[in-house]
Amino acid sequence: MTGLDPSSPLVLDTRALNLPRRAGSMITVTRTVPSPVDMGVALARVLPESPVELDLRLESVLEGVLVSGSADVHVDAECARCLDPLDWDEVVEFSELFVYPATDARGAVVEELVDDDEDPLPRLQDDMIDLEATLRDAVVLGFPLAPVCQSDCAGLCSVCGVRLDDHPGHLHEQLDPRWAALTALELPDATEDQS
């Protein structure tokens, strides 16, 4: 396991909280950090390096450090129906337990076997925690998969691509290809005198 970079904006030092390791102490952290890359889904994303306002509470518990709080992000998206750009501000709540590394009877850190079937909890590394994965998961899982500019957005015409909300009643007369062979048939003239 490689050490964390303490100068990274999403790495938090917990030494003030954990000395000595006892449950019950708490600190709050408020900071503005640049958004990490890859924070988005197909039609909604937080642009890389855009400001993310963090309001955090770090609590020392028996197993490690519980980080809870909120992230205020600006979301840029496209409407899933008409592809118009849209954006909004969103506050995402999250909570994650960062566990202490396993130690032996002398307090030395030991490597634990990881069970492939379970998702391990994130760990403290040298009394520091990295919030990047936790922040990304909390923000991205809150995004709508198909954002819309308005609930009754009509979308785009499937034939010519015109925005249907701008052209109400826009229709293309389309002949169903299954009936196309019938256009070659001539209908009898109804005005002919039948004798």
pLDDT tens, 106-149? 656 667 666 655 667 888 888 889 999 999 999 999 899 899 99
Tally of domains within the chain: 1
Q: Which of 25-34, 120-129, 179-188 has the highest mean pLDDT?
A: 25-34
CA angle 122/145/117 to nearest 5° reads 35
d(CA 12, CA 1): 17
Q: What is the mean pLDDT of residues 88-102?
A: 91
Are 60 and 21 contacting, i.e. CB atoms less than 8 angstroms apart? yes
Q: What is the CA radius of gyration of the chain?
A: 29
**Domain range for residue 157?**
1-195
Indicate the pLDDT class of residue 1, thresholds 50, 70 and 90.
very low
Mean per-residue pLDDT of the chain: 84
Alpha helices in the chain (DSSP H): 15-18, 132-141
pLDDT (tens digit per residue) in 40-80: 998 999 999 999 999 999 998 888 899 999 999 999 999 99
The beta-strand segments (E) located in 79-186 are 85-99, 128-130
- Mapped onto helix, strand or coil, the DSSP state of residue 95 is strand
161, pLDDT greater than 60: yes
**Percent of the chain scoring above 70 in pLDDT:** 83
d(CA 12, CA 29): 9
Q: What is the predicted pLDDT for the residue at 69?
A: 96
H or E element in which residue 135 lies: helix 132-141
Q: What is the pTM of this model?
A: 0.74
Nearest to 127 by CA among 1, 19, 7: 19
